[in-house]
Amino acid sequence: MKPENKLVIVFSTLVRAFAMSLGALALGWGVTMTEGLGASVMAAVVAVVLGELFSRSRMKLGALLGGASVLFALSLTVSRVITATEVIPQWAGPAGALMIAVFLRFGALVFTGVFVLRVLAARKRSLVALELAALSAAIVSVFATHRDGVLVRPLWLSDWAWSVGLEPVQVLLGVGVISVTTLAVLLIVQSRNGRAVSALIALFALGLLAIMTVNAVGLPAPQAETDLGLLTPPGDPPNPSRADAGNGGGPGDQGDASEREGGSDRSDAGEGEGGTSSDGGGDSSIEGGAGAQGGDGGDGGASAGSDGGDGGSSSSLDGGDGSASASGSSDGGDGGASAAQDGGDSGLSQVPISPSQSDGGESEGGAGRPPPRPPSDDLENERQQSQSQQQRQSPLAVLILRDDYDPPAQAYYLRQIAWSQYNGTRLIPPTRMELDRDIPRGYPTEAMTLEERAPRAGRTLVHQTIALLTEHNNPFGIEGAFRFEPARNPNPSRFTRAYHVQSLAQTTPYRALFGRRVGNPAWTPELRALYLQAPTDPRYRALADTIVRTMPAARRADPFARVVAIKLWLDHELIYTTRARHMGASDPTADMLWGNKRGYCVHFAHAAVFLWRTLGIPSRIGSGYHVDAQNRGSASTIIVRSGDGHAWPEVFVEGLGWVVVDIAAERNEDPPGQPQDDDERDRLGEMAREQPADPQEPPRPQQQTPQRNRAREMARAAARAFPWVLLLVLAGLYGVKFWRRWIPSFANGKPAARVSYRAALDMLAEAGIAREYGETREGFSRRMAGSVPSLKALTDEVQRAKLGARDESAPDATELRAALSRVAGEVRKLKPWWRRLIGKLNPTSWLDAV
């Protein structure tokens, strides 16, 4: 039936066996172990060979398929029997029995599949496609993980590639080329048609196109974190974020507010303690007094504890803070977010955080960080020492300012949430709906305007777009935000979410606030009382009074002057350090204020709010991010980093709303943060704006050698030229097509026969009719004699011109043209108009005219 060359048969069987065992290997890789894989490979080879043999035998197709399925069922049963009965495990041991069973099962599975496919393909030509499809699907399944852009996914492959010094993508491309070539060879062997050359050329062009596209467009980058450095290496202590804020920024930006007052303390330890508060609160409160001292050393896991403890979404901010201070989590935002969820649950349900977690936090805190240093006055010294420790801060979000805005505080306060409700130990995010209605309680799914907004007076409308690089559980914006709107994510592989914010941001300078009244007259007395709740500890009141008494008499009655006085006192008295721990205390704020006076933003904010509230000034803690105005520079992009998490006290000024009055300790024991990387800011900003990054600066300069850059440049140039090249090629093809069609009108003499005949062949090729391989010219014209009888005249002329004697007379060009137009008319009747249109549009139809 098929007088095929034996060599060809053996060769194609070998190739097929190889390809099929590869496919079996690919399918089985993740599913089974050595025995199963070995069985699969062997079964694939055997099945290909047997399939080839049996398909050539005289057995009926149905019998072959039936036999294969019977064999399959038999093997499965046997493999089950092996493990189900006791005889074989006793003889071969349980592991051996299992091995045999696996061997049988996978062998039978692969054998049946490959055998059936092979027999079907050999008997029914068209079903070769089925076999090829199964094979390619099996091979492709290895790279199924690529769909998310995880290109390095078969790790065994990319590890090997890296170890040899190759780029995994190149290796993958190579694998693709090899498998495509294998498939193509299989197809060609199958068809044995000489016309496969053009198909191969097309395949090659497609491959080239694919590679160029990859080079030009690039591959999806799934892990934005890695290449942007969002993940700091573990063990690298995260940066104490408040270094800038509390220290450098503090005196400068809050210089307006000048006031100081002694007060109570340890607001913050409360939150730390809150983690275990429900059960541990009692005993720790006893220690609380002593905890003033021991707090530092003791509560290494303050942040972790606080996260878990006071629950609610507030802890997201804690997390941001806490991670900055706790060494364990490398990513502030992530840590915050994840901890927030735990904390939220446990806090709301009053269930203590799981011991393991708090342990972990504490142990991390304890182990990851050197024991706290003794208080030292030599701050300069320390700062210089610590300056050497440059720590990397990973970006969490990108904020694009759509309106120009310069905050009077010289820093952008991005409020995410507010803590205004006093729970007996510390302030927590409001559980009562009437509190803080100027804070969004979730992400907008559509444009969302908050019920309460700051008045317009003294504020300016600022449009912002924020793209989050890590997950946050509450949106944030420049303080005074009142309208949130979801935005299209400019780059989903990098940003988790994007949204627009409109804020009425404060423009009134702090100086102008003196003499203003505090509190909102629209509040109910009950609501106002909620904003005034503070610890009952009399020391707070006493401290506040003491501070007020230091004020000039004329100013003493001015509530905002009191606010500033207390702020300045705290600025002066408190020492900023992220190593401060007040978790064990029943009132961590008091533990700090009347203890070692060391703490960080959360402690300070609690101290300020408690002192203000005892003086009858409605206040709360805002939490979110604090970005120094210097970091913005001239750009309109603000990068929020993991170190920017912050909590700050706020005062409600009548007619202006909530005003940030941050505490900036004059003394700082933490090392300063690293300067911002302006390039990175610009790059992220561009990305968030959906604009391409600067082409001069590839996104990963540190990973690219100049050679690679050049190669990439060249590839890019080639890719840019590709459409033009394609267009040129297309134009060329059409040009040739029309040339071949029109030249008979001008040809004379001997060549006329050839060009006329060629034009006739072109017409036939457009209709999808072509001479077969090995068919003679006369044979073709005889085959077409029924539908295109005029072809014969042209054929005879061209044959005479080519094969006849040299002194043959030249053909009559007019005759030829007449014959050609007859052919055109005959071809027109052959096919419907749409088929002819397709033929006319096909630029390569003339390639078939052979």
Nearer to other proteins, 738 or 773 (CB): 773
- What does the alpha-carbon distance between residue 183 and residue 195 come to, in Å, rounded to a whole number? 17
Strand 667-668 versus strand 575-576 pairing type? parallel
Position 739, amino acid: W
Nearest distance from C-beta of residue 779 to other proteins, angstroms: 6
Nearest distance from C-beta of residue 743 to other proteins, angstroms: 13
b/e map 142-172, b = 16+ CB within 10 Å = bbeebeeeebbbbeebbeebeeeeeebeebb
Which tokens go with 648? 């700050």
- List beta partners, residue 653: 518, 657
- What does the alpha-carbon distance between residue 651 and residue 330 come to, in Å, rounded to a whole number? 33
Nearest distance from C-beta of residue 749 to other proteins, angstroms: 13
Nearer to other proteins, 57 or 388 (CB): 57
Residues lying near other proteins in the complex (CB under 8 A) are found at 3, 5-7, 194, 751, 754, 757-758, 761, 771, 773-779, 796, 798-800, 802-805, 850
Nearer to other proteins, 681 or 758 (CB): 758
What is the torsional sign of CA 405, 408, 410, 415?
A: negative
Nearer to other proteins, 679 or 772 (CB): 772
Cα angle 296, 331, 493; round to 5: 170
- List beta partners, residue 417: 623
- What does the alpha-carbon distance between residue 844 and residue 736 come to, in Å, rounded to a whole number? 9
Q: Do the beta carbons of residue 537 and residue 426 sit within 8 Å?
A: no
What is the 8-class DSSP label of residue 343? H
Nearest distance from C-beta of residue 795 to other proteins, angstroms: 8
Q: Do the beta carbons of residue 153 and residue 145 sit within 8 Å?
A: yes
Nearest distance from C-beta of residue 6 to other proteins, angstroms: 6
Nearer to other proteins, 489 or 799 (CB): 799
Nearest distance from C-beta of residue 736 to other proteins, angstroms: 13
Which tokens go with 94? 């349980």
Nearer to other proteins, 388 or 809 (CB): 809
Nearer to other proteins, 536 or 776 (CB): 776
Burial of 647 (0-12, 13-18, 19+ CB in 10 A): buried
Nearest distance from C-beta of residue 800 to other proteins, angstroms: 6
Nearer to other proteins, 3 or 374 (CB): 3
Which tokens go with 374? 């003794």
Please list, in sequence order, all residues whose beta carbon lies within 8 angstroms of the beta carbon of residue 553, skipping any fewer than 6 positions away. Answer: none
Nearest distance from C-beta of residue 739 to other proteins, angstroms: 14
Q: Do the beta carbons of residue 576 and residue 665 sit within 8 Å?
A: yes
Nearest distance from C-beta of residue 803 to other proteins, angstroms: 4
Which tokens go with 441? 């309680």
- What does the alpha-carbon distance between residue 19 and residue 178 come to, in Å, rounded to a whole number? 10
Nearest distance from C-beta of residue 729 to other proteins, angstroms: 22
Nearest distance from C-beta of residue 766 to other proteins, angstroms: 16
Which tokens go with 305? 């504890």
Nearer to other proteins, 256 or 796 (CB): 796
Nearer to other proteins, 130 or 743 (CB): 743
Nearest distance from C-beta of residue 126 to other proteins, angstroms: 23
Strand 575-576 versus strand 477-478 pairing type? unpaired
From the list 354, 364, 239, the residue with the least C-alpha distance to 301 is 364
Which tokens go with 282? 């009692």
Nearest distance from C-beta of residue 7 to other proteins, angstroms: 8
Nearest distance from C-beta of residue 3 to other proteins, angstroms: 5
Nearer to other proteins, 66 or 779 (CB): 779
- What does the alpha-carbon distance between residue 207 and residue 200 come to, in Å, rounded to a whole number? 10
- What does the alpha-carbon distance between residue 452 and residue 436 come to, in Å, rounded to a whole number? 8
Nearest distance from C-beta of residue 754 to other proteins, angstroms: 6
Phi, then psi, of 452 in degrees rounded to 5: -115, 135
Nearer to other proteins, 195 or 517 (CB): 195
- What does the alpha-carbon distance between residue 717 and residue 827 come to, in Å, rounded to a whole number? 45
Give how far the C-alpha of residue 14 lies from the chain's centroid of Cα atoms, to the nearest Å.
Answer: 43
Nearer to other proteins, 194 or 371 (CB): 194
What count of other Cβ atoms lies within 10 Å of the Cβ of residue 776?
Answer: 11
Nearest distance from C-beta of residue 796 to other proteins, angstroms: 8
Nearer to other proteins, 525 or 774 (CB): 774
Nearer to other proteins, 326 or 747 (CB): 747
Nearer to other proteins, 2 or 488 (CB): 2
Which tokens go with 641? 């980093």
Q: Do the beta carbons of residue 575 and residue 529 sit within 8 Å?
A: no
Nearest distance from C-beta of residue 753 to other proteins, angstroms: 9
DSSP 147-162: GGT-TT-SHHHHHHHH
From the list 202, 690, 621, 687, the residue with the least C-alpha distance to 428 is 621
First-to-last alpha carbon distance for the chain, in angstroms, is 28
Nearer to other proteins, 598 or 754 (CB): 754
What is the torsional sign of CA 702, 708, 709, 712?
A: negative
Nearer to other proteins, 6 or 829 (CB): 6
Question: In 151-217, which ranges are continuous DSSP H helix?
Answer: 155-164, 168-191, 196-217
Assign 195 to helix, strand or coil: coil
Nearest distance from C-beta of residue 804 to other proteins, angstroms: 4
Q: What is the tally of helices (H) and strands (E) in the chain?
A: 30, 16
- What does the alpha-carbon distance between residue 391 and residue 330 come to, in Å, rounded to a whole number? 11
Which tokens go with 369? 């960080």
Distances (CA, A) of 251 to 163, 525, 612, 671, 811: 53, 35, 20, 17, 103
